[in-house]
């Protein structure tokens, strides 16, 4: 007998019917015809859809509030996480009716909505019961969701009330649209359950247990349906609470049966239950006596509940796992809770507390084939028996290959002790293996299987549910496996003979078998198609996109697009949403025109279906602007962003984070145009919005500070940039942690500032830490890791360590080739910097080969009108200039200048740089006046764009001084150099290589004026700065020694000059090689000293070697070769 009312006069307070109440009523509704049954099923499906909408409506507010609460907690808020979450949720739209509730420590933060009768939770380990493992905290929640979904349709649960369940995955973005964290919000219908209604199970984590014989039938049927054996767990305290129900018969009540008329009263009299009789008689009394029941409709019967405490309860079979709860409600319902433990467990012998885990199953005591011990035989741990084993082991996180992890897992499980590794074969999971979130490997002899979860590939956080789902009961039954007890994995949950654990291990072998793996893959594929049709298909592709697997994402999206086209038409917003995500993939691949074509189509669909004032329409414009930004079409991007901003202002308000995100991207456009002050103005406005909407400790606020720092860096204000970046770094450390890519990105930009300040070792220290974070969080083959290697190479290049830089760049190139493709702009950018290294080494032809390849890629991917294409022409021109091909260099620079004028404008710093290099060409051609005209124009642009205190402005003064020096206007040159020196002193400091370079040129002017001692004083100071900043092995250090030697030579101190030149020669030989023009130039000056000493043969040998190097590196038409040839001819004429 199921329990009913707990007292003779129990009254149940009326309450509005909730969605959960309606679902329970429909599940228990009796139907007589097939039509009635179908109608009931359709109504029930409608209730489930309604509940899913309730969850969707609340999920965004709950996830955002929880995310903000965690960040505040990390920032030092002393209140409980629940209290902070309540405050945060109350401030959000849609969170007014939500209440954070205290409902146990397991399961994470819990929120109730009294207005809908719904209950929500985010499964995170907020109190440390899983030792901080988000994987383990989420596992129980996923199993509960899977089991509740199963039980709603299962015959095994027909006597039970099962809560409605749904889930929504919410991605919390920052203001720039970058995903920060994904939360799974689970919704359940609430029922009137509590400590007083618990009849079966444990409500205190296994300390005590409740039993109730009246509910044994319900529990037995449920256990049979799920193929579960009885639990052997006993409460830790040894105490049981036994619940009993006793039927109590009341007195006859004439009014206890409705008065329906004389005919009904006559019927009651005929069966011996007359309304006014003192007791029943006739047929009614006879049946009651024979069967022990109450048939009299005028005699009330109720169930009287009692409970008692007992120890070591004997004779009672516990049909369900110890912490699965059955609650009896006063009106007769039996509610099933904590259903996650009904799933066949995916752990045996202890769950991993954190990091990566693996499930290892072995059918025989033999180790995997290929694993041999020292004696040449297969090495097996002595504890292995002849029975199968199933163990869960912890593995180190990080980028090991599957085979290596499988070997490590087998060794951790005690199945392998030898040094040799077995041969593993991957079990094919089908075309959608990435969506399963697991890899299964089998040893070559088939004796051992290892399941490796793939957290980065989990689709909608399925983890192992695809293999250990509720349908596992059917799999085990079909395979003939014995029923299993999930409690066998718990202390005290197994029998002494080990039969319970043996059954569980055998079940694990069935579930990890090839047949069930294939079945799991099929189930995931079916679920994926169903979700596509339900409008959730882009989730998978978005995960692939975040991982950088753009081609895989596009393959899924094309299938998704075709499903939408056939099911909802090509004018539906869902179809447009798929096109939008496809465009994001194309954008990530650098295929901007293809992305824009998709976005334009998406824009038109949104305009006709949602209207041009809808936020989704604005989102499409925003992403189009990002494509235009990356194409270098800044004005077109700004036009789109202004339109986007107007829509967001009217639909969301100017205080919304998305509005701030648009301002942020507009600032990026202004920054790219060189309008740094305008960009800073937008960023300050963006910063203020974030401060008021998400707080100054939020990662989005830090992102704005980050871009402000980039503007300061571009203006040459490196210390101001570093101040912002340090604040940004601290916010990221407290909000997302020091292992997050955003934290590493901040370190990278700090390193760029240090690089610009000439602090190369400090920059490299930051970059090494950055590289390690990116490698562990994103993988060593991710494009972001390549970006870090790229900046490290720039530091090595600045230090003159060209081969080390090329080694890093080659690795960077390979990563870009495999992740982005050889046609991507980033791949071309790596070739570009490799060419800069070759240029610095004097290998100009090799550099030009790389630059021509780079140019062709950029022409195809970005177009010949892009500023990046112009940069490649610029560097090609530098190579031609170094080779003495001045006219060819000028031709390239003129083309570069025209592209920059149309793409960036003639006021951009890059345009000024091109004029600067054109001036260097004119200077090399001895066209000093033409060079000075170009430099004055360059100086005017720099004064207005980056200010007269910027290092670039100082460089222009420097080159003007070189022109004045070569025109023999030494005093004018010195005036310019003194001004240049002061700018460098205030902007980068007196220990910077640029400051030393200015001193060197000032010394050259003093040398030309015959003031050798003054020149030597400057050069000694220059030498000391370079020794501490770039090292004594750097080519620029050698150049300073060279100029000191020239002074000694002209002072007729030839031996001192030769000592300096020999040291200079050795540095050039080790840094740039003996085929470099600088090496030859040193030999030439050494020959001059030998000639002055009368050592003509030695001088001739040096000049001959020098001329060969000049001919090979610069060509026989170069002025340096001709100068060496004339010196040889003069010596031969002696």
pLDDT of residue 622: 92
pLDDT of residue 610: 85
Task: Categorize the per-residue pLDDT at 428 as very low, low, confident or very high, splitting at 50, 70 and 90.
Answer: low
Q: Which is nearest to 188 in space by CA: 326, 16, 13, 19?
A: 19
Q: Which is nearest to 868 in space by CA: 707, 672, 641, 715?
A: 672
pLDDT of residue 1062: 93
The domain of 1061 spans: 1032-1134
Please check whether residue 868 is in contact with residue 896, taking contact to mean a CB–CB distance below 8 angstroms: no
Q: What is the three-class DSSP state of 492?
A: coil
pLDDT, one tens digit per residue, over 691-707 is: 887 778 877 888 889 88
Q: What is the three-class DSSP state of 521?
A: helix
What is the helix (H) or strand (E) element at residue 442, kind and residue range? Answer: strand 438-443
pLDDT of residue 496: 63
Which residue has tokens 């239950």?
273
The first and second tokens of residue 846, run together, are 């090799």
Task: Categorize the per-residue pLDDT at 513 as very low, low, confident or very high, splitting at 50, 70 and 90.
Answer: low
Please check whether residue 864 is in contact with residue 856, taking contact to mean a CB–CB distance below 8 angstroms: no
**387 plus 508 within the same structural domain:** yes
Least confident of 211-225, 711-725, 768-782, 1011-1025: 768-782
**Helix and strand counts by DSSP (H, E) for the chain:** 41, 16
Q: Which is nearest to 957 in space by CA: 936, 941, 971?
A: 936
Q: What is d(CA 190, CA 47) in angstroms, rounded to the nearest whole number?
A: 14
Q: Which residues contact 1050 (CB under 8 A, 6 or more apart)?
A: 1007, 1010, 1012
pLDDT, one tens digit per residue, over 138-165 is: 556 666 777 777 777 665 556 678 888 8
**65 plus 154 within the same structural domain:** yes
Least confident of 19-23, 213-217, 771-775, 860-864: 19-23
**288 plus 359 within the same structural domain:** no
Q: Measure CA 895 to chain center.
A: 41
Q: Look at residue 797 and tell me if it is in a domain.
A: no
First to last CA, the chain: 128
Q: Look at residue 562 and tell me if it is in a domain.
A: no
**437 plus 475 within the same structural domain:** yes
Q: Measure CA 10 to chain center.
A: 56
In this predicted model, which residue has the larger pLDDT, 392 or 1065?
1065
Q: Which residues contact 43 (CB under 8 A, 6 or more apart)?
A: 26
Q: Domain boundary residue among 532, 559, 576?
A: 532
- Number of neighbouring beta carbons within 10 Å of residue 8: 12
**453 plus 391 within the same structural domain:** yes
pLDDT of residue 131: 45
Q: Which long-range contacts does 729-733 make (Cβ < 8 Å, 24+ apart)? A: 731/696, 731/697, 731/698, 731/699, 731/701, 731/702, 731/705, 732/699, 732/702
Please give, one letter per residue, the 3-state secondary structure of 626-694: HHHHHCCCHHHHHHHHHHHHHHHHHHCCCCCHHHHHHHHHHHHHHHHCCCHHHHHHHHHHHHHHHHHHC
Is the overall model pTM greater than 0.85, yes or no? no
Please check whether residue 1071 is in contact with residue 1038, taking contact to mean a CB–CB distance below 8 angstroms: yes
Is residue 454 predicted with pLDDT exceeding 60?
Answer: no
Is residue 67 predicted with pLDDT exceeding 60?
Answer: yes
**437 plus 473 within the same structural domain:** yes
Is residue 1061 predicted with pLDDT exceeding 90?
Answer: yes
Cα separations (Å) of 556 from 543, 563, 819, 938? 11, 11, 18, 51
pLDDT, one tens digit per residue, over 1015-1043 is: 899 999 999 988 888 788 888 888 999 99
DSSP type of residue 82: H
Q: What is the three-class DSSP state of 78?
A: coil
pLDDT of residue 1017: 93
**1078 plus 1126 within the same structural domain:** yes
Looking at residue 1131, which CATH number applies to its domain? 1.25.40.10
Cα separations (Å) of 265 from 32, 194, 256, 257, 260? 28, 43, 13, 10, 8
pLDDT of residue 249: 80
Please check whether residue 933 is in contact with residue 922, taking contact to mean a CB–CB distance below 8 angstroms: no
Q: What is d(CA 307, CA 316) in angstroms, rounded to the nearest whole number?
A: 15
Range with the largest mean pLDDT of 784-788, 1102-1106, 1110-1114: 1102-1106
**993 plus 1072 within the same structural domain:** no
Q: What is d(CA 500, CA 477) in angstroms, rounded to the nearest whole number?
A: 17
pLDDT of residue 104: 59
Q: Which is nearest to 829 in space by CA: 794, 799, 778?
A: 794
**Residue 837 burial by CB count (10 A; 0-12/13-18/19+): exposed, middle or buried?**
buried
Q: Look at residue 207 and tell me if it is in a domain.
A: no
Task: Categorize the per-residue pLDDT at 334 as very low, low, confident or very high, splitting at 50, 70 and 90.
Answer: confident
Q: Measure CA 601 to chain center.
A: 29
Q: Where are the beta strands (DSSP E) in 695-854?
A: none
DSSP type of residue 488: G
Q: What is d(CA 717, CA 950) in angstroms, rounded to the nearest whole number?
A: 8
Q: Look at residue 526 and tell me if it is in a domain.
A: yes
Q: What is d(CA 1123, CA 1083) in angstroms, rounded to the nearest whole number?
A: 13
Looking at residue 988, which CATH number applies to its domain? 1.25.40
Q: Domain boundary residue among 161, 189, 217?
A: 189
**Number of structural domains in the chain:** 5
**1047 plus 1003 within the same structural domain:** no
**185 plus 87 within the same structural domain:** yes
State the number of CA atoms in the 13 A half-sphere of 250 facing the CB: 15
Q: Where are the beta strands (DSSP E) in 291-437?
A: 301-311, 325-328, 334-337, 356-362, 389-395, 424-426
pLDDT, one tens digit per residue, over 523-532 is: 544 554 554 4
Average pLDDT across the chain, whole number: 79
Q: What is d(CA 559, CA 576) in angstroms, rounded to the nearest whole number?
A: 14
**279 plus 423 within the same structural domain:** no
Is residue 890 predicted with pLDDT exceeding 70?
Answer: yes
Task: Categorize the per-residue pLDDT at 389 as very low, low, confident or very high, splitting at 50, 70 and 90.
Answer: low
What is the helix (H) or strand (E) element at residue 452, kind and residue range? Answer: strand 448-453
**439 plus 480 within the same structural domain:** yes
* Average pLDDT of span 398-410: 76
DSSP type of residue 186: E
Q: Look at residue 941 and tell me if it is in a domain.
A: no
Is residue 776 predicted with pLDDT exceeding 80?
Answer: no
* Cα-Cα-Cα-Cα dihedral sign, residues 63, 64, 69, 71: positive
* Average pLDDT of span 1074-1090: 91
Q: Where are the beta strands (DSSP E) in 700-811?
A: none
Q: Look at residue 514 and tell me if it is in a domain.
A: yes
The first and second tokens of residue 219, run together, are 């529990």
Cα separations (Å) of 652 from 555, 614, 645, 678? 34, 10, 10, 24
N residues, the chain: 1134
Q: Angle at which helices 783-798 and 741-756 pack, to 10 degrees?
A: 20
pLDDT of residue 1104: 92
Q: Look at residue 993 and tell me if it is in a domain.
A: yes
Which residue has tokens 């936020």?
615
Is residue 354 predicted with pLDDT exceeding 70?
Answer: no
pLDDT, one tens digit per residue, over 977-1025 is: 999 899 888 877 888 888 888 999 898 898 988 899 998 999 999 999 8
Q: Which long-range contacts does 857-860 make (Cβ < 8 Å, 24+ apart)? A: 857/822, 857/823, 857/824, 857/825, 857/827, 857/828, 857/831, 858/825, 858/828, 860/823
Task: Categorize the per-residue pLDDT at 133 as very low, low, confident or very high, splitting at 50, 70 and 90.
Answer: very low
Q: What is d(CA 406, CA 528) in angstroms, rounded to the nearest whole number?
A: 28
* Average pLDDT of span 839-853: 88
Q: Look at residue 114 and tell me if it is in a domain.
A: yes
* Average pLDDT of span 1073-1088: 90
In this predicted model, which residue has the larger pLDDT, 1059 or 953?
1059
The first and second tokens of residue 96, run together, are 């007014």
The first and second tokens of residue 59, run together, are 């999920």
- Number of neighbouring beta carbons within 10 Å of residue 418: 19
pLDDT of residue 955: 87
Q: Which is nearest to 691 in space by CA: 677, 681, 702?
A: 702
Q: Which is nearest to 753 in space by CA: 706, 823, 683?
A: 706
DSSP type of residue 423: P
Is residue 243 predicted with pLDDT exceeding 50?
Answer: yes
Is residue 939 predicted with pLDDT exceeding 50?
Answer: yes
Q: Domain boundary residue among 532, 565, 581?
A: 532
Task: Categorize the per-residue pLDDT at 520 as very low, low, confident or very high, splitting at 50, 70 and 90.
Answer: low
* Residue 923: φ, ψ to 5°: -65, -45
């Amino acid at each position: 007998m199921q329990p009913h009312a707990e007292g003779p006069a129990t009254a149940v307070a009326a309450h509005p019917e909730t969605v959960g109440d309606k679902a329970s009523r429909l599940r228990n509704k009796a139907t007589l015809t097939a039509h009635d049954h179908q109608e009931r099923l359709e109504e029930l499906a409608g209730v489930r859809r309604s509940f899913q909408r309730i969850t969707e409506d609340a999920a965004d507010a709950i996830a955002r509030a929880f995310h903000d609460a965690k960040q505040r907690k990390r920032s030092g808020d002393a209140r409980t996480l629940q209290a902070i979450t309540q405050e945060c949720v109350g401030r959000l739209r849609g969170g007014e009716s939500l209440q954070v509730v205290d409902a146990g420590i397991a399961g994470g933060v819990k929120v109730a909505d009294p207005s809908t009768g719904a209950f929500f939770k985010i499964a995170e380990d907020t109190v440390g019961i899983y030792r901080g493992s988000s994987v383990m905290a989420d596992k129980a929640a996923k199993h509960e969701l899977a089991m509740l979904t199963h039980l709603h349709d299962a015959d095994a649960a027909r006597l039970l009330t099962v809560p409605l369940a749904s889930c929504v995955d919410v991605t919390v973005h920052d203001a720039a649209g970058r995903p920060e964290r994904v939360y799974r919000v689970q919704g359940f219908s609430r029922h009137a359950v509590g400590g007083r209604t618990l009849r079966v199970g444990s409500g205190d984590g296994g300390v005590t247990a409740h039993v109730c014989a009246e509910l044994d039938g319900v529990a037995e049927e449920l256990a049979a349906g799920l193929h579960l054996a009885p639990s052997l767990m006993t409460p830790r305290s040894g105490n049981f609470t036994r619940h009993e129900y006793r039927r109590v018969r009341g007195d006859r009540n004439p009014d206890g049966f409705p008065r329906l008329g004389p005919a009904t009263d006559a019927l009651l009299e005929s069966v011996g239950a007359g309304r006014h009789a003192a007791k029943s008689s006739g047929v009614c009394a006879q049946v009651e006596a024979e069967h022990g029941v109450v048939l009299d409709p005028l005699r009330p019967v109720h169930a009287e509940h009692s409970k008692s405490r007992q120890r070591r309860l004997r004779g009672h079979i516990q049909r369900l796992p110890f912490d699965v709860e059955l609650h009896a409600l006063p009106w007769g319902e039996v509610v099933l809770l904590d259903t996650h433990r009904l799933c066949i467990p995916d752990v045996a012998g202890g769950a991993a507390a954190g990091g990566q885990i693996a499930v290892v199953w072995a059918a025989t005591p033999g180790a995997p084939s290929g694993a041999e011990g020292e004696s040449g035989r297969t090495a097996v741990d002595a504890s292995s028996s002849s029975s199968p084993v199933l163990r869960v082991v912890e593995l180190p996180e990080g980028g090991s290959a599957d085979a290596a992890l499988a070997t490590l897992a087998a060794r951790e499980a005690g199945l392998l002790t030898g040094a040799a590794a077995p041969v593993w074969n991957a079990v094919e999971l089908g075309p959608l293996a990435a969506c399963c979130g697991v890899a299964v490997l089998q040893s070559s002899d088939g004796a051992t299987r290892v399941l490796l979860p793939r957290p980065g590939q989990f689709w909608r956080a399925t983890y192992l549910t695809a293999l250990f789902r509720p349908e596992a009961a059917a799999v085990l039954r079909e395979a003939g496996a014995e029923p299993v007890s999930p409690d066998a994995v718990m202390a005290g949950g197994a029998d002494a003979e080990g039969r319970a654990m043996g059954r569980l291990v055998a079940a694990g072998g069935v579930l990890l078998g090839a047949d069930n793996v294939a079945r799991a893959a099929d189930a995931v594929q079916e679920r994926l198609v169903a979700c596509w049709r339900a409008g959730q298909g882009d989730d998978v592709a978005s995960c692939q996109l975040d991982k950088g697997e753009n081609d895989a994402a596009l393959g899924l999206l094309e299938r998704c697009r075709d499903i939408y086209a056939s099911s909802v038409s090509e004018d539906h917003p869902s179809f447009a949403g798929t096109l939008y995500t496809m465009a994001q993939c194309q954008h990530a691949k650098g295929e901007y025109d293809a992305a824009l074509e998709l976005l334009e189509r998406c824009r038109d669909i949104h305009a006709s279906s949602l209207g041009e004032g809808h936020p989704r329409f604005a989102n499409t414009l925003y992403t189009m602007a990002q494509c235009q930004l990356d194409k270098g079409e800044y004005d077109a991007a700004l036009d789109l962003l202004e339109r986007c901003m107007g829509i967001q202002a009217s639909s969301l308000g100017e205080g919304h984070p998305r509005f701030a995100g648009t301002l942020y991207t507009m600032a990026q456009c202004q920054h790219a145009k060189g309008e740094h002050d305008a960009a800073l103005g937008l960023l300050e406005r963006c910063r203020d919005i974030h401060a008021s909407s998400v707080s100054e400790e939020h990662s989005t606020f830090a992102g704005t500070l980050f871009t402000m720092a980039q503007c300061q860096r571009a203006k040459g204000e490196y210390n101001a940039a570093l101040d912002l970046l340090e604040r940004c770094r601290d916010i990221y450390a407290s909000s997302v942690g020091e292992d997050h890519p955003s934290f590493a990105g901040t370190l990278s930009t700090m390193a760029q500032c240090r690089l610009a300040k000439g602090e190369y070792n400090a920059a490299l220290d930051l970059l090494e830490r950055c590289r390690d974070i990116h490698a562990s969080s994103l993988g060593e083959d991710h494009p972001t890791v390549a970006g870090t290697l790229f900046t490290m190479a720039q530091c090595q290049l600045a230090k003159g360590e060209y081969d080390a830089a090329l080694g890093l760049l080659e690795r960077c190139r390979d990563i870009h080739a495999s992740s982005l493709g050889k046609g991507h702009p980033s791949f071309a950018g790596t070739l570009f910097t490799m060419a800069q290294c070759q240029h610095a080494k004097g290998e100009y032809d090799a550099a030009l080969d790389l630059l021509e390849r780079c140019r062709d890629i950029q022409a195809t991917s970005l177009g010949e009108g892009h500023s990046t294409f112009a940069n490649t022409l610029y560097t090609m021109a530098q190579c031609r200039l170094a080779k003495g091909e001045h006219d060819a260099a000028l031709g390239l620079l003129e083309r570069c200048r025209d592209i920059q004028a149309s793409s960036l404008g003639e006021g951009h710093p890059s345009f000024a740089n091109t004029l600067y290099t054109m001036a260097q060409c004119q200077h090399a051609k001895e066209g000093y006046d033409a060079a000075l005209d170009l430099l004055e124009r360059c100086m005017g642009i720099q004064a207005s764009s980056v200010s007269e205190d910027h290092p670039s402005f100082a460089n222009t003064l420097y080159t003007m001084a070189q022109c004045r020096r070569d025109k023999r206007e030494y005093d004018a040159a010195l005036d310019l150099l003194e001004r240049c020196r002061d700018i460098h002193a205030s902007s980068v400091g007196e220990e910077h290589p640029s400051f030393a370079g200015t001193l060197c040129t000032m010394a050259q002017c003093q040398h030309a004026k015959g003031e050798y001692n003054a020149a030597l004083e400057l050069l000694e100071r220059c030498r000391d700065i370079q020794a501490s900043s770039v090292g004594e092995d750097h080519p620029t250090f050698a150049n300073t020694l060279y100029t000191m030697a020239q002074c000694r030579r002209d002072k007729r101190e030839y031996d001192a000059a030769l000592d300096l030149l020999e040291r200079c020669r050795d540095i050039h030989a080790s840094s740039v090689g003996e085929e470099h023009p600088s090496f030859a130039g040193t030999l030439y000056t050494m020959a001059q000293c030998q000639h002055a000493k009368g050592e003509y043969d030695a001088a001739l040998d040096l000049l001959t070697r020098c001329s060969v190097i000049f001919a090979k590196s610069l060509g026989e038409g170069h002025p340096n070769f001709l100068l060496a040839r004339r010196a040889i001819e003069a010596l031969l004429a002696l």
